[in-house]
């Protein structure tokens, strides 16, 4: 059993706790190098996390002989180029979500990795977390009978950073993020439904900017039908008065309710009563999925989140945003 040596491109906030230490704590895995365009920041990260080497050039990291696989943790605008660089060097890729700016970039990433013969994984880590695996187990065991429809509701207030046009976070700048907080957060929700109920094959949506705090969408409503026949509807609003996060799946014999981002219990309701299932998130929330990636690279097990599955989620979001993107293009022309 070999130990996979990892290199990180883009050691920002997400790598401090959520992901970076997971590469050091997963079995048969080690973090050997990190890269950030500002060398001082890369060196600081390496020193604080006991990483042997740091770089300010992605190509140098990718060609480090001790780097067996590359984790790309930059904003989405850079995912495609760094994936192509890594694949062409023969290095497997684990890329942050959303996978890219749009589904066309996703498909190019898939094609290049396939041509290079390297696997492509995407950090939709909820596919490997216990609370979400419990939801899947309940669905697979037909605890609610046959699933019929799903409803998603997520709303949040405008953040403090978004009140000042000079401090806008990159997550609400479409040319960097591919959209706004919908793309950042709904991607997790829609990807898990892909895993749970089967790929979404038909989708329609409306997207708008109601609060006019930033250039991206701040509200999206969508309807969709899964390959399994399950219908769905979702509303995502990012200028509401409070925070709410609920997905509910209704079947012929019961329903399941869960939160995607909070730690509230998973709730199963049937004719016999209500049962709650409580789970704690791991300290390094990506570690279970990182372990699945390492295991697959070592020739056993299969990682549940791939470029192909992640591209399907990007397509769904693109379809929901299509009208707003078309309006933006017409205003620029």
Instruction: Encode pLDDT of 141-190 as tens digits.
Output: 999 999 999 999 999 999 999 999 999 999 999 999 999 999 999 999 99
* Span 258-283, pLDDT tens digits: 999 999 999 999 999 999 999 999 99
Q: Answer yes or no: is pLDDT of 8 > 60.
A: yes
Same domain for 106 and 153: no
Q: According to the model, what pLDDT value does residue 332 have?
A: 42
CA angle 60, 66, 70 (to 5 degrees): 65
Same domain for 184 and 326: yes
Same domain for 269 and 206: yes
Q: According to the model, what pLDDT value does residue 323 have?
A: 72
| Average pLDDT value over all residues in the chain | 96
Q: According to the model, what pLDDT value does residue 128 have?
A: 98
Q: Answer yes or no: is pLDDT of 203 > 50.
A: yes
Q: Answer yes or no: is pLDDT of 333 > 50.
A: no
Give 78-104 as a DSSP string: GHHHHHHHHHHTT--EEEPSS-SSSHH
Asked if 162 and 169 touch (Cβ cutoff 8 Å), the reply is: yes
Same domain for 51 and 180: no
Q: According to the model, what pLDDT value does residue 330 have?
A: 45
Instruction: Calculate the CA 291 to chain-centre distance.
Output: 16
Alpha-carbon span 252 to 75, nearest angstrom: 41
pTM of the model: 0.95
Domain containing residue 59: 4-123
Same domain for 83 and 214: no
Per-residue pLDDT, averaged over 84-111, amounts to 98
Q: Answer yes or no: is pLDDT of 326 > 60.
A: no
* Span 34-90, pLDDT tens digits: 999 999 999 999 999 999 999 999 999 999 999 999 999 999 999 999 999 999 999
pLDDT band for 33, please (50, 70, 90 cuts).
very high
Q: Which is it for the CA torsion 35, 40, 43, 45, positive or negative?
A: negative
Does residue 306 form part of some domain? no
Same domain for 319 and 177: yes
Same domain for 319 and 175: yes
């Amino acid at each position: 059993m070999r130990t996979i040596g990892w290199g990180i491109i883009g050691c920002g906030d997400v790598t401090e706790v959520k992901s970076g230490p997971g590469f050091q704590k997963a079995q048969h895995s080690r973090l050997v190098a990190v890269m950030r365009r500002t060398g001082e920041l890369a060196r600081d990260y390496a020193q604080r996390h006991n990483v042997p080497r740091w770089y300010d050039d992605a190509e140098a990291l990718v060609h480090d002989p001790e780097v067996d696989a590359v984790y790309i943790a930059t904003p989405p605008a850079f995912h495609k180029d760094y994936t192509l660089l890594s694949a062409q060097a023969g290095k497997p890729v684990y890329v942050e979500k959303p996978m890219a700016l749009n589904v066309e970039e996703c498909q190019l990433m898939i094609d290049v990795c396939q041509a290079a013969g390297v696997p492509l994984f995407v950090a939709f880590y909820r596919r490997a977390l216990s609370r979400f695996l419990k939801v899947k187990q309940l669905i697979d065991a037909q605890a609610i009978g046959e699933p019929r429809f799903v409803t998603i509701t997520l709303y949040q207030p405008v953040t403090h950073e978004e009140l000042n046009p000079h401090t806008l976070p990159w997550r609400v700048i479409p040319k960097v993020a591919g959209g706004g907080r919908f793309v950042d957060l709904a991607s997790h929700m829609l990807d898990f439904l892909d895993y749970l109920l089967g790929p979404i094959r038909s989708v329609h949506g409306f997207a708008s900017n109601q609060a006019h705090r930033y250039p991206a969408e701040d509200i999206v409503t969508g309807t969709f039908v899964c390959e399994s026949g399950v219908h769905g509807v979702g509303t995502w609003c990012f200028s509401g008065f409070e925070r709410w996060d609920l997905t509910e799946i209704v079947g012929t014999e019961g329903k399941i309710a869960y939160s995607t981002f909070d730690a509230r219990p998973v709730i199963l309701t049937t004719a016999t009563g209500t049962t709650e299932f409580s789970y704690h998130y791991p300290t390094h929330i990506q570690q279970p999925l990182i372990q699945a990636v390492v295991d697959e690279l070592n020739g056993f097990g299969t990682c549940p989140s791939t470029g192909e599955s992640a591209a399907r989620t990007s397509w769904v979001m693109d379809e929901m945003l299509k009208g707003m993107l078309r309006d933006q293009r017409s205003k620029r022309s």
